[in-house]
Amino acid sequence: MAAVTAVREWVNAQRGTLTGPGTPIPQGAFRQQVRSTADGAYVVLSRVGGTGDLFAERPADRARISASIYAGTDGAAELAAVAYANAVEALSGTRTPMGDATCLVADNVTGPLLVDNHDTDREQFHYVVDADFYLI
């Protein structure tokens, strides 16, 4: 399974705590930019690096995944970015199902980092959180 798809499926499975109505990321995670922040924050995931086959006995993938978190207000975007970063940090050493993949650990989390989008036609309130996901 592609790493971005695996992480997206994991994020969207966190209904009631991370995603869904009344949560920090009500719209969930996507692979591509969506147009509306009227319904709350959302995450766009992309792969920005990594390596494969880390273990000789079982193929694995260390995928560097970047999460761009967007919302209609700075407060909502920051809250969503912190919630996502905390959820990823909690993936430390516990095998976690992510779609057809299993995450062994998430590591090297950076962010939330504010991205200044005021001079673009994209949402003004944007944070980035990057992390390495070790997937089998």
Digit-coded pLDDT (tens) for 43-74? 999 999 877 655 555 568 889 999 999 998 99
Peptide bond into 26 cis (omega under 30): no
Digit-coded pLDDT (tens) for 85-131? 999 999 987 899 999 999 999 999 999 999 986 666 656 799 999 99
- Name the domain count of the chain: 1
Report the amino acid identity of residue 10.
W
The CATH number of residue 37's host domain is 3.30.2000.30
Determine how many CB atoms are found less than 10 A away from the CB of residue 74.
13
d(CA 68, CA 109): 13
Show the domain range for 19: 3-135
